[in-house]
Amino acid sequence: MADNTTKKPPLKIKMHKWQITTLILMIYDICAVNLSYLLALWLRFDCAYSKMDHVYSSNWLRFVPVYSLIVIAVFVFLRLYRSIWQFASYTELLKVIIATAITAICHSFGITVFFGKMPVAYHLVGPVIQFVLIIGIRFSYRFVTLLRNNLEERLPSKEKTNVMIIGAGSAGQMIVREINNSSELTEKVACIIDDDPSKWRRFIDGVPIEGGTDDIMSAVEKYNIKKIYFAIPSATPDEKRNILNICSETDCELMSLPGMYQFMLGQVSISNMKEVSVEDLLGREPFVASNEEVFRFISDKVVLVTGGGGSIGSELCRQIAAHSPKQLIIFDVYENNAYSIQLELREKYPDLDLVTLIGSVRDSRKLFQMFAIYHPDIVYHAAAHKHVPLMEDSPCEAIKNNAIGTYKTAYAAMIHGCSRFVLISTDKAVNPTNIMGASKRLCEMIIQSFDEKIKQGKADEIPQLFTHSQDHPPVKFNPADIHTEFVAVRFGNVLGSNGSVIPIFKKQIEHGGPVTVTHPDIIRYFMTIPEAVSLVMLAGTFAHGGEIFVLDMGSPVKIDTLARNLIKLSGFKPDVDIKIEYTGLRPGEKLYEEKLMAEEGLKKTSNKMIHIGQPIPFEVDEFFVNLYKLMYVAYSNKPTIRELVATIVTTYHPENVAKKDETFYDQLESINSDYAEDE
């Protein structure tokens, strides 16, 4: 009868490389620790085995199995078999010292109590030999690696880039060690710079500390440096700016450790170094909002962000999502941007109640429908046309979207019980020379008008503006029920936003230039997107209605200097490798932007970085009439709209005003009567 049983294949145990290494190391340790005490006994008897007392050698031999188990147990407990000895450091050295001390005590106690007394030299010399043998095999691997790397550096066939490290502290030492221990990096640390004189002319892992920051230029030339690593995570923005300004005068590529946060987390490595950005050279402490105040303000609220897919709007959504809102509504006319931030937030905050809606702030019916369904508690109004030259070519669109769109959104918010409405404004609204800035000043005036009427208990006197009034009857409400607080936040140019000069300059540098600057003396205030959004959110917590909040953005920066620094940071010489061309001021552009009008005094807040501008008084009822006219002119697409805007925004002085259309402006005379009838 045939045997139908299937023979099982022999069991194969597959071991990883590190497991094999650990097993070999354990066998070595057993041999080394026992041999150490035999050598100690041999040395005690003048290196003559024949003189050795048989009792002593017998005691040693009988204790070998016991001591082997003790050593393995202690080494396992201290995780000596889990360390990567290629990167052995003081931690591993300390562990070996502790292990030697523990095993030495166990050996002396165990052999004396259970087997017999041994010579004093046996107990003293044995641990020393054991320590040398244990630490020797472990650190020899690292020594061989360093020796191999040093030999490779001397090979002419493998060229390495000379690197300078700024900072001889812990972070700098970690970077030096990583580069020296790596066989993959094609870099070599040639010198270190540090402002501590006590470290000068000394060495870290064989690398000389050449001197202080005053020696950077000479050291770059002396050592033929091609790349500089800034490794001082504790440096203040001013200190960092001063050092990086010196480095930017060289032709070297600059890299920087992000900051103390990464250092505290132990994220100090070549992979964590980032390219030095222009933001690093602004020389201003980054603005950080009070998370506690913002959290209390946002938490468990329904928050709407108009223009939520834009540069500012999307960052608003990110920071709002992090503060546990009851619901976040993204409203944008451009579906691609809205979809992008929607995907990002859903991935990062899976429990967030997120609503994404496509629509325009110029559509009253869409706005009323959205507010009626979701009833937002807080509105951040970031939707706007912001590109100055494009708006100069399409002035009516700036008014429709910015001014009328803000009015319609504010009105819908007021009617539907919104508690806080925060307008995103700009320093271009101050003494505007372009229609975009003038339209944003109109937005500020709209906010101030709404606030004034609400505080007077006359919210019902705020007209409802429609381009389709025949389809939408006026809303009736009790003005005593209206409590919406309207505020504006004004700040300067945002680094990295859509339309920012930085991305434009980078693209021009990538293509070999030229880098185009409108004027050599043009200056601007700058802030980062997170800073701008932090201000907007904190302003919402400070608001009582009618304020224009202004951030202390420090000193303005020359665009020409910004362009030159960016060229240097990219490893090129301005006007040599990359040309700079001056193209002249664009339509509506001025040499400098102001944060406040001369008439608006500054009032302090509890945060030294935030001020409040006192509103310029104007006749609110007359403003509403003029705004009605302005809407009519904008939707008639008349290029003469600038003239009408100038009569409303008295600080607006346009350079080019279209020829007045007498026939059309005669028609405006009848608008007052139409407006009165609608009221």
Tell me the catalytic residues. 428
CB proximity list for 488: less than 8 A, separation 6 or greater: 422, 423, 424, 425, 443, 444, 447, 547, 548, 549
CA nearest 142: which of 175, 173, 182, 94? Answer: 182
Provide the CA 502 distance to its chain's centre, in angstroms.
16
Q: How far apart are CA 516 and CA 590, in angstroms?
A: 16
Q: CA angle 515-390-660, nearest 5°?
A: 135
Ramachandran category for residue 375: left, alpha or beta (phi over 0 → left; psi -120 to 50 → alpha)? left
Q: Are 522 and 558 in contact (CB under 8 A)?
A: yes
Cβ atoms within 10 Å of 300's Cβ, excluding its own:
11
- Distance, in Å, from the CA atom of 91 to the CA atom of 83, rounded to the nearest integer, reads 10
Q: Is the dihedral of CA 652, 657, 659, 661 positive or negative?
A: negative
Of the chain, the end-to-end C-alpha distance in Å amounts to 109
557, β-bridge pairs? 524
Beta bridge partners of 490: 425, 550
Which residue from 112, 132, 137 is spatially nearest to 122, judged by alpha carbons?
Answer: 112
Give how far Cα 547 sits from Cα of 12, 431, 543, Å: 77, 18, 7
Collapsing DSSP to helix, strand or coil, 106 comes out as helix
Helices of type H across 619-661: 620-635, 641-648
Q: How far apart are CA 297 and CA 525, in angstroms?
A: 28
CA 159 to CA 207: how far, in whole Å? 18
Structure tokens at 617: 């008084």
* Three-class DSSP category at 330: strand
Residue 351 identity (one-letter amino acid): D
SS (H, E, C) 29-44: HHHHHHHHHHHHHHHH
| Partners of 517 in the β-ladder | 582
Contact call for residues 458 and 622 (beta carbons, < 8 A): no
> 66 Cβ partners below 8 Å, 6+ apart?
110, 114
Residue 632 in tokens: 């009519």
The two tokens of residue 411 are 């009105």
CA–CA separation, 422 and 451 (whole Å): 12
DSSP state of 403: I
The answer to whether the beta carbons of residues 479 and 414 sit under 8 Å apart is no
Q: Are strands 557-558 and 523-524 parallel, antiparallel or unpaired?
A: antiparallel
